[in-house]
Amino acid sequence: MIELKNITRLYRSVEVSTAALRSIDLTIAKGEFLAIMGPSGCGKSTLLNILGAIDRPTTGSYHYDGLELTRLNEANLAEFRARHLGFVFQSFNLVDDLTVQENVELGVLYRKDLKGQRSNLVEAALDRVGLAHRARHFPNQLSGGQQQRVAIARAIAGSPDLILADEPTGNLDSENGAQIMSILKGLNAAGSTIVMVTHSRAQADQASRQIDMLDGRLLLSVTRAV
């Protein structure tokens, strides 16, 4: 499904060049649940941004189902993200003055092919995370765990091939974190490919494969039967 070859990402200033990623080679199979771990500043989020076609690599190639993403222009990348990717962030990134329903609808707003199906898709996504009864509430009326479930509903409303989760439990207590992990594992069991950045070894152990990073490099890959 995904193949990265010799991916590097450099950030340059007038006086210095910093390598965030160094010669990354990575293959991710369809239906895999991959956890990426490492200390702060090791390149985890940069790698996730490359996978999400938010950032472009300085060198190397990124093939997604045979499509070379590094050759696409910004308009085509935006369309690719809307059709194929779902994003879950540590800070939820909900719009405070929109209802839960309206926040989830943002996940399919730019899908012209789904225009007539949006209401049903939003309802199904909220039902999947157990929040259909909160559709008319606003984010500030929800707990942190509920807000993250709304963010997951937004990510999955358009049935993306790949879900990218950046520290999805980082702002949650252990009970709510466990609920989010249960939802992600359920989505994976239903066929979604998931890549999750996390600092939690216990949560990484629940993925089907775990990669450790340090100083912009992949160090170790462990596959588990889960």
Domains contained in the chain, CATH given: 32-57+71-223 (3.40.50.300)
d(CA 100, CA 153): 10
Average pLDDT per 10 consecutive residues for the chain, totaling 226 residues: 96 86 96 95 94 96 95 93 94 96 94 88 96 97 96 95 95 93 95 95 94 92 66
Asked if residues 113 and 121 have their Cβ atoms less than 8 Å apart, the reply is no
pLDDT score of 225: 55
pLDDT score of 226: 53
Q: What does the DSSP 8-state code read for residue 89?
A: E
Asked if residues 196 and 2 have their Cβ atoms less than 8 Å apart, the reply is no
| SS3 state at 49 | helix
What is the pTM for the complete model shown? 0.92
Asked if residues 212 and 37 have their Cβ atoms less than 8 Å apart, the reply is yes
Closest Cα to residue 207, out of 175, 168, 172?
168
Beta bridge partners of 87: 164
pLDDT score of 115: 85
pLDDT score of 12: 87
CA 110 to each of CA 30, 94, 127: distance values in angstroms, whole numbers, following the listed order = 24, 17, 22
Angle subtended by helix axes 174-189 and 144-156, to nearest 10: 20
Asked if residues 120 and 98 have their Cβ atoms less than 8 Å apart, the reply is no
